[in-house]
Each structure stands twice: as structure tokens, then as C-alpha cells.
Amino acid sequence: MGLLSDPNRRRALTNLLTRLNAPICVVCYLAGVMWFMGLAFEPFTLRTYMSENAMGSTMVEEHFPAGERALATGREFAAHKKKVGGMPVNWLVKTMESRGLEVFTQSFTRKLPFPDENKERYLVRGTNVYGILRAPRASRTEALVLTAPCSQGNANNQAVGLLLGLAQYFRSQVYWAKDIIFLVNEHDLIGMQAWLEGYHHTNTTGGDWSPLHGRGGSIQASLSLELSSDVITSLDLVLEGLNGQLPNLDLANLFHAFCQKIGVLCTIQGKLQRNDWESTSGYSHSAQTMMLMVLKQASGRPWGDHGLFLRYHIEAATIRGINSFRQYKTDTTTIGRLLEGMYRKLNNLLERLHQSYFFYLMPSLTRFVSIGYYMPAFGLLAVILLLRALDLWVQLGASAPGTEDGLAEREQSPSSPGVLSILTPVVISHMTGVALYCLPVMSQEMAVQHFPVSETEAVVLTAIAIYTAGLALPHNTHRLLQGEGTEHGWRVLKLVALLYLAVLLGCTALINFSLGFILALSLVPIAAFITPHTHKPLSAAIMVLLSPGCTLLYCVLIFQELQETPVSLQDGWMLFLSVISQGILDHSLYGSLVYPLLALLIYPCWLLLWNILFWK
């Protein structure tokens, strides 16, 4: 007889499973964490290399001469910006036209669901200005984009100046096979979202913008430039985009190749590369860089203007110029040459970048870990959930009165009285989740009337209030429940919760590995070991400490620590509140999925487990 259908053998297997379950779970958890930490260890990573044949090596000659003129243009731009008090649309249009581009503008309006305290805006009205450099001999089927944001104050003036300087230089070359679109967007991400939606004729986030009159074909790649000083010491590359999406690794390889050729220092996450991977400090440096990338990816927000392009399958990255206290300074002409070289190589592309990896983690700019190497870390954590689910299944099967015949009988008995009893907690948890998703934004007016808080604070505090109110649920729902507070009942509920969590985390990890892994790190232990019979106060405390909200708080604190700007608990708490409000805003403005995921799916899952803990 077969392995699983022979009752003796099955009994032996299930005994083994039950006996060894807890140890295997612990081992898997530790193995998962160690695998993840080991990803930053240099011998386990691969060196980056150019995969796209068409881009080849850095085999171009860069001739861009006009760095100083670009800085002068930047200063003019700054003056006009101050005069107008916003985006100097007319001046930009005139300047771009004088450089021989086809210039168009787009105006947009956006009302945020509640005021954004970080950027101090509520009703946003702006204009994007873009000029298209038509390829001299090619048909208008493909395009490349170079963008610089129009920021308030003195930020990014040099970026716009360099953009205009490059536009003038590019216009005099004959070798462009794709149109190049030079875009200056106002109100950074909101303007960029409006432009992209207008370009692709979609309206996913409900903004109000005028249609675009000029188009350049399908966009193959895009670079966003942020430059706020006349000279820089290093260039930082930002890759993380909306919902943790990353551009093709070839774009990062291209950037690094050119930085090396021209001799500019390049960093990722603001950290330089180190050569001493054997030492502890070297390893911790790589681990810090990787953790920063993981945290940024998990937050699901675009970390540069490029982040919104990725959704349209356009490979994009942000290049940020940093001026720190180093001896060797790089001037604008060199940055211009670097961008010229990159654009010439992107010009040689025949198809979209697709040869290299789309899912990767980078412990440093020259080393990467691909999805095949980092997924097992998550897999080990997910296995714990499946093992516990199997264990519960076995327990449920053993406890039900069953005959010698197969599984059919056993399936019947647990499910029929069980379904209704577990349906109630599931429905109530999800309703709380829906409340957590909808109520904060909807009820801000009411909250502002009754309490002396601003709208943003109202939204955030309502969210936290609903979150904490969910903790009281088990005591209240038991009044509604008819009974069925049996051993059997909570086991079925836990089985459902474990499988639900496994599927949820699995799907999340596929799309955004960092988010899935961080949630798994905190939720898997509590999901695995929570039962009504554990020591209630201690388990309750651990559950609250490992709940999604507190995980978010820890992530904020760790992120600040890694950025080398550690905060006290007080400031950390304020930062935490602002992170919540930014998450809600990102969701409504750009379609970030982190907030709905946490509110509608992860939080109800956690509530189910909380219900199991207080099962009577």
C-alpha cells in the first residue's frame, strides 16, 4: 500500500510530525533569519554585469562641454522661480523653444484627502512643462525621458539648469534614434503622476489634469535628476519605486559602469562601497545597505520621481547629486558627460531592458542577490505556517470520531458544526479591517469638530484608535457567539487563519519581497505558537508587541538608526504618526498598496489570532 494510504504508516508519520513540529518550526525560523542575514555576506552574492548586448560596454566618447552655461541657466531659473513664486512656466517654455524642442504644458489639480503636513499642501495646483527632442531620422515610435523636479526654495535649480543644457547639446547631434522628452514637473510626485497618467491615457487615481498635446512614442527608459549644488562629491542612485518595484538591474549596471569610466564616486543608499568584506565592520556595512534597501522597498512608496514610471514598465532611476565634505569635487560638465554617455547607450537599445533581473537586493552597488537566492529565506518562514497547519489538521482528524475508512468521514465531521462558529470571527475581523481602511479618512471632519486636532492628526489618531479598539473585540464578540467555544472550534479557526496568512504572505512576498519578509518575521511566530492555553497576559503582550502596528514602529526606528540619524522614542513616535499619514496619502494619490494590504488583510488576520488567544 502507499505511503499515505496505509493507516499504520500514516500514524507513524503523523506521530513524527506532531512530535517534531515545534523543534522544526524553531529551526526553520532561525534558518530563515540567518539565510536573510547571510545574503549580505559577499561570497554569497554575485558581481553585477551588463546583460544587454545592445548596450555593450561604455564605448562612447562624451563631448558635453557646457557645464558652466548649465549652471547659469539654473541660476536664471531660480530667479524666475522666486519671482513667480512657483513654476516659471512662461520662461521655461520660451527657453525650451529657443533650444529647438517642441514644448507643451500640462496643468493639473489635485485635492488631497487630508492636508499633508510633511510637504504642507492640501489643494495642489500646478503645471508640468516638457519639451520633446525629435529624433532627426527615426520615426516617432520610442522615447527616452529626462526629468528634473521644480522644487520649492533653492532645491534642484542646478538639475533644471543641467537638463536645459543637455537639451541644447543633444539637439545638435544626429545619432538619436529615439525621441527624448525633457520634463520639468511641479509638485514632484503629484505632477509626475499627472503627466504619466496623461501620457498613457489612464486615470487610476482620480486626479484632474489636462490632456497632453504632444507625445513621443512608447517610453523605453527614464532618468530623474536631483542636483542642488554646483559641485558634487558623489552621485547617489535611487532604485526603489512604488509598491517596492525595482527597475531592471541593467540600469544600475549602466550607471555604475559610467561612474567608473568617468571617475565619479557613486553610492547606493548613500553608502560607499567597501572592500573589506571579511571583517565584521565590512559585513555590517553591507548588511546595513541591504537592510536600508529592504526597508525602503517594504514601505511601498516611491523614493524618487522615477518611482511612478515603473508601473508602466518603464525602467527608471533617480540620480541624486550629493555634496559632502570630501576633497575631490566633480563639476557639472562631468555630470553632463555621464548623463550623455548613459543616454547614448540607452539610445542603442533595440528593445526594452529585459535581459537582467527585475527582482534583486543590492548589498552594494557592485553586488546583488537575485530572487532565486533570497526567496528561500521567506520560504523557510512560510514552511512554519504550513507545518503548523498540518499539525492542526492531524489533531482535528484524530479528535473527530472517525472510522477506519479514509479521509472523507473526517472531513465531514469537523466542518459542519465548525463553519458557522469560525465564520463569525472571520467576518467581524474583516469588518474591523474595512473600518480601519475607510473610517479614518471619512470621519476626519467629525473628529475635527469634536476634538482640538488638525485633520491629519485626526486621521492618524482615528486609525490608531480603531486599531486598538480591535483588541477589545474578543470580549465583545463572545456575547454574540452561541457557544461552540470548544477545543475543536479554535483549532479550526487557527487552521483557517494559518492557511490564510500563508497565502497572504506568499502573495505579498512575490510582489514585494521585503514587505512579505518583514511581516512574516513578526507574524509567523505568533501565528505558529498562539493557543488559548498559553499564559494569557504574556501572550497578549507578545502579540501586541509583534502586531503589524508595532512592527511598523520598529521599522521606523531601525530605519532612522541605519540612516545614522537615530531618534529618541518621542521623536520616533511622531515619525511613526507621520509615516501612517504618508501611507494613507500614498494610497490615495499614487495607488500604493501597502496601506490597504495592512488594513484590509493583515490586520484582520492578526485579529483572528487575537481571537484565538482569547477563545473561551
C-beta of 346 vs 435, nearer to other proteins: 346
Residue 493 CB burial class (10 angstroms; 0-12, 13-18, ≥19): buried
Asked if 605 touches other proteins (CB under 8 A), the answer is no
Q: Rounded to the nearest whole angstrom, what is the least distance from the CB of residue 348 to other proteins in the complex? A: 6
C-beta of 142 vs 457, nearer to other proteins: 142
Asked if 453 touches other proteins (CB under 8 A), the answer is no
Residue 218 CB burial class (10 angstroms; 0-12, 13-18, ≥19): middle
C-beta of 59 vs 420, nearer to other proteins: 59
Asked if 172 touches other proteins (CB under 8 A), the answer is no
Complete DSSP assignment for 130-163: EEEE--SSS-TTEEEEEEEEE-STTTTHHHHHHH
Q: Which three cell numbers stand for residue 412?
A: 465531514
C-beta of 345 vs 491, nearer to other proteins: 345
Chain positions 97 to 156 lying near other proteins, rule: CB under 8 A, are 135-138
Q: Rounded to the nearest whole angstrom, what is the least distance from the CB of residue 54 to other proteins in the complex? A: 5
Q: Phi/psi of residue 159, each to 5°?
A: -65, -45
Provide the residue count of the chain: 616
Chain positions 330 to 389 lying near other proteins, rule: CB under 8 A, are 344, 347-348, 350
Asked if 173 touches other proteins (CB under 8 A), the answer is yes
Complete DSSP assignment for 497-512: HHHHHHHHHHHHHHH-
Cα–Cα dist 548/225, whole Å: 35
Select from 93, 177, 465, 544 the one that contacts other proteins (CB under 8 A): 177
Asked if 54 touches other proteins (CB under 8 A), the answer is yes
Q: Rounded to the nearest whole angstrom, what is the least distance from the CB of residue 178 to other proteins in the complex? A: 8
Q: Rounded to the nearest whole angstrom, what is the least distance from the CB of residue 139 to other proteins in the complex? A: 9
Which segment (56-64, 237-245, 321-329, 601-609) binds other proteins by CB under 8 A? 56-64
Dihedral of CA atoms 202, 594, 304, 192 in degrees, nearest 10, equals 20
Which segment (13-21, 55-63, 422-430, 519-527) binds other proteins by CB under 8 A? 55-63
Who's near 366: CB < 8 A, 6+ residues apart? 47, 48, 256, 273
Asked if 510 touches other proteins (CB under 8 A), the answer is no
Select from 2, 3, 61, 452 the one that contacts other proteins (CB under 8 A): 61
Q: Rounded to the nearest whole angstrom, what is the least distance from the CB of residue 65 to other proteins in the complex? A: 16
Which segment (8-16, 54-62, 441-449, 498-506) binds other proteins by CB under 8 A? 54-62
C-beta of 176 vs 255, nearer to other proteins: 176
Chain positions 178 to 207 lying near other proteins, rule: CB under 8 A, are none
Could you tell me where the DSSP H helices lie in 300-406?
332-347, 371-399
CB atoms within 10 A of CB 565: 9
> How many angstroms separate the first and last alpha carbons of the chain?
42
CB atoms within 10 A of CB 502: 21
Select from 44, 175, 328, 451 the one that contacts other proteins (CB under 8 A): 175
The three-state (H, E, C) secondary structure of 374-402, written as one string? HHHHHHHHHHHHHHHHHHHHHHHHHHCCC
Which segment (175-183, 413-421, 457-465, 551-559) binds other proteins by CB under 8 A? 175-183
Binding footprint of other proteins on the chain (CB under 8 A): 53-54, 56-57, 59-61, 135-138, 173-177, 344, 347-348, 350
